[in-house]
Amino acid sequence: MIRCYHTINELAAELALEFRQFALNALAGNRKVSIAISGGTTPRAFFEQLAWIESNQQQAIPWSMINLFWVDERCVPPDHADSNYRMTRESMLDKITIPAENIYRIHGEANPSDEARRYAKIIESIVPSLEGIPQFDWILLGMGDDGHTASIFPDRMDLLTSSSVCEAVTHPAKDSNRVTLTGQTLLQAKKISFLVTGATKSIIIRQILNKEPGSEKYPAAYIHHRTSCDWLLDKQAAQYLKIQCRDKY
């Protein structure tokens, strides 16, 4: 499913309502769900909407039913400006009632390889497995200007087929270390949503969603071509697609 919105705030608002219903369904079924989130501008807007719902809606989100994980993390301390955890904490976690024991952050301050192994063990102990691979209930992904997703970059396509749950990886341009979920872990999820905004990503979006020749070089395309994914785009990211933006949500 591909959805287009006029603004990033409209996208974030609808996704937040969808998330709340997802959590309410988990509560009704008396079953905890495991969700992995990403960093970036679009997730920040989404997190802020979730925090707004928590403060302004009578029917709050049942955060006790959510086990919260991260798709990837930069190898920096949790208070560093580049930390995905810090961004999530400032935009949402400090403003909601999620139990501390439900938050499973990647320890960016640790040795990357050691942390990849530790985080994999945490995931395997919490997230139910299917065919030996942890199966998240919902994974929220972004996409970079180079077509990467999570911290799987075009120069590390091997991470898409790695047998590990998590891997340590180095950013090809910035020479900085990260820890990321692998392709097999992403593909096992029950639900995957790509959140992509901005004109700089519009050509790659067109190539991936139209399955144009050459698009297979993008890690995001690898995921899209092998499983069912929802794509939530703003009008700038979707400008080369034959799709109308929603007037209401």
Q: What is the tens place of the pLDDT at every residue in 135-178?
A: 999 999 999 999 999 999 999 999 999 999 999 999 988 879 99
Residue ranges making up the domain that contains 87: 2-234
Mean pLDDT of the 117-133 span? 97
Please state, in angstroms and rounded to a whole number, the distance separating the CA atoms of residues 143 and 150: 8
Identify the pLDDT of residue 76: 97
Residue 11 pLDDT class (50, 70, 90 cuts):
very high
CA angle at 17 for the pair 16 and 21, rounded to the nearest 5° = 115
CB 141 within 8 A of CB 153: no
Identify the pLDDT of residue 237: 96
pLDDT tens column, 30-84: 999 999 999 988 999 999 999 999 888 666 899 999 999 999 999 999 999 999 9
Residue 122 pLDDT class (50, 70, 90 cuts):
very high
pTM (two decimals): 0.95
Q: In 3D, which of 71, 73, 46 has the Cα closest to residue 61?
A: 46
Partnered with residue 67 across adjacent β-strands are 34
Q: Which CATH number do you get for residue 78?
A: 3.40.50.1360
In angstroms, how far apart are the furthest CA atoms of the chain? 49
242 within domain boundaries: no
54 within domain boundaries: yes
**Statement: residue 240 has pLDDT above 60:** yes
Classify strands 129-130 and 133-134 as parallel, antiparallel or unpaired.
Answer: antiparallel
7 within domain boundaries: yes
160 within domain boundaries: yes
Instruction: Please state the length of the chain.
Output: 249
Calculate the alpha carbon distances from 131 to 45, 72, 248 in Å.
Answer: 35, 23, 40
Residue 95 one-letter amino acid = K
> For all residues of the chain together, what is the average pLDDT?
95
Mean pLDDT of the 93-111 span? 97
SS3 129: strand
DSSP 62: -
49 within domain boundaries: yes
Domain count along the chain: 1
Handedness of CA 154, 3, 211, 240 (dihedral sign): negative
Residue 248 pLDDT class (50, 70, 90 cuts):
low
